[in-house]
Amino acid sequence: MIIQVARATARSLLPDVAPAIRRQFATSKPALAKNRIYNPPRSEDEWSTLLLLSTSSRRPLITLWTTAGCSSCAVVLPMVKSLIEDEGVGEKEGGVGFAEVDVESVLLGGAAGLAMTYSINSIPTLMAFDKSEPQVETRVTNLKDLKSKDFLRSWIEKEASRQGHGGAGGKFWGLFG
């Protein structure tokens, strides 16, 4: 009898917990990461900032290395920008950043500066940077590939899927990068 009275008293004092458990909530699909087109870096400080931005957002930085007098670059640049900006290639995989880098820029050290640092010896060159490291094994210098929209689409998707998980493009199954 005392136990029954205690239970009745406890029920009246304690709030009903069951409605809180049955509450429904709504979820929505997470927003896709948007691709980002950056202005061409004009100094080494701006270049460093681009690398830091891509690293902090875990978004690979796609770079197209060009010169002012390169006729092939004039064909490749609009195609790459269109795929990234207009078609959103890579957004489903996590997004990418894109910047055109002028190899002849005096403020970037000219041809002997930044281009030499990353072993850019062919113009145009398409290269991704992930975690501020150049992906040398996946860079593209073959003009036929650079002019193929299908090739560029699959290459950008592959690079976007890294999302800060890749190393310097080396082997060893990602153990050191």
What value does the mean pLDDT take over residues 20-31? 60
pLDDT score for 6: 56
Whether the pTM exceeds 0.85: the reply is: no
57 token code pair: 């957002």
pLDDT in tens, 151-169: 999 999 999 998 755 554 4
CA 170 to chain centre: 18
Which domains are delineated in the chain?
Answer: 36-166 (3.40.30.10)
What is the rounded CA–CA span in Å between residue 145 and residue 68?
A: 21
Q: Which of 33-42, 59-68, 104-113 has the lowest mean pLDDT?
A: 104-113
Within 13 Å, how many C-alpha atoms sit on residue 10's CB side?
7
pLDDT score for 142: 96
pLDDT band at residue 63, thresholds of 50, 70 and 90? very high
pLDDT in tens, 68-109: 999 999 999 999 999 999 999 999 999 999 999 998 888 777
pLDDT band at residue 14, thresholds of 50, 70 and 90? low
Name the burial class of residue 158, with classes exposed (0-12), middle (13-18) and buried (19+) by CB atoms within 10 angstroms of its CB.
Answer: middle
Amino acid at 40: P
Alpha helix (H) residue ranges in 69-176: 71-81, 114-117, 143-146, 149-160
Report helix angle 71-81 to 149-160, nearest 10.
Answer: 60
pLDDT band at residue 12, thresholds of 50, 70 and 90? low
Q: Which residue has the higher pLDDT, 107 or 9?
A: 107
pLDDT score for 3: 63
pLDDT in tens, 123-162: 999 999 999 999 999 999 999 999 999 999 999 999 999 8
pLDDT score for 98: 97
pLDDT at residue 110 tops 90: no
